[in-house]
Amino acid sequence: MRFLSRLSKKRSATKEVYPAIRPYISPAGGRRRTPVPDRNERFYIPLPVLQATSRFMGRFAQEERECYVWWGGYFTEKGGQVVTALCPEIKTRFGHIRLGTKELMALHSELRRIDQILLVELHSHPPGGGGQNEVDAAHPAATYPGFITVVVPDFGLPCFYDLSESHVYEYVHANRWRQLLQPEIRDRFVIEEASLPVKP
């Protein structure tokens, strides 16, 4: 009991902050080698990935500028498992984002390092900016059938929480996209809590 008492005092004296990085690096498991499924029927997204994306977008929104994010993960037999949100530290403006070769190479390099692939790209639009425009449609980060791009309205404010309130598009082919309606978004993009207290 004395040990626990001392530990409790020590914890209360210092602000407890959980580390933001993993405790150790495991060998790659070859997730990047999994082929793109014929149809991406379901994407599974942990709630902390939404929270991290919202924090990125909120930081950019404070400066009234657009934010760009990749969701990395791996393919399953009929869809994808989102694992990580990646946000490049780039200069953006109120209604403009531009990524060059250097920035894209850095994002792909980071995905390789963590043994993940690009599943979804997201970017925010200012208030009144609407959904995907011609420039967005013509410059996706990937062009495989079923690739998803999300345009988040109003800079993601007050927070990016409900994916079905955003503009979600699926790549078809030959620079053609199909916009998903709310019921399809809610069916295909499964948001999962990372922790749940259970009362017996």
pLDDT in tens, 41-63: 899 999 999 999 999 999 888 88
Residue partners of 79: CB distance under 8 A and separation at least 6: 37, 40, 41, 42, 43, 44, 188
Q: Which helix (H) or strand (E) holds 107?
A: helix 101-113
In a domain, 133, yes or no: yes
Using CA atoms, how far apart are residues 86 and 108, in angstroms rounded to an integer? Answer: 10
Bridge partners (DSSP) of residue 152 are 124
Using CA atoms, how far apart are residues 183 and 199, in angstroms rounded to an integer? Answer: 32
In a domain, 20, yes or no: no
In a domain, 4, yes or no: no
- Model confidence at 162, pLDDT cuts 50, 70, 90, reads very high
In a domain, 6, yes or no: no
3-state DSSP call for residue 72? strand
- Would you call the peptide bond into 158 cis, given omega within 30 degrees of 0 as the criterion? yes
Number of domains in the chain: 1
- Model confidence at 4, pLDDT cuts 50, 70, 90, reads very low
Residue partners of 157: CB distance under 8 A and separation at least 6: 57, 58, 61
In a domain, 106, yes or no: yes
CATH code at position 42:
3.40.140.10
Arithmetic mean of pLDDT, 16-25? 83
Arithmetic mean of pLDDT, 115-129? 91
10 pLDDT exceeds 60?
no
C-alpha torsion angle, residues 177, 180, 184, 188 (rounded to 10): 50
C-alpha torsion angle, residues 148, 70, 31, 192 (rounded to 10): -80
In a domain, 67, yes or no: yes
Instruction: State the residue range of the domain holding 142.
Output: 32-192
Instruction: Assess contact for 136 and 98: CB atoms under 8 A.
Output: no
**Residue given tokens 């309130």 in the structure block:** 165
In a domain, 182, yes or no: yes
In a domain, 25, yes or no: no
3 pLDDT exceeds 50?
no
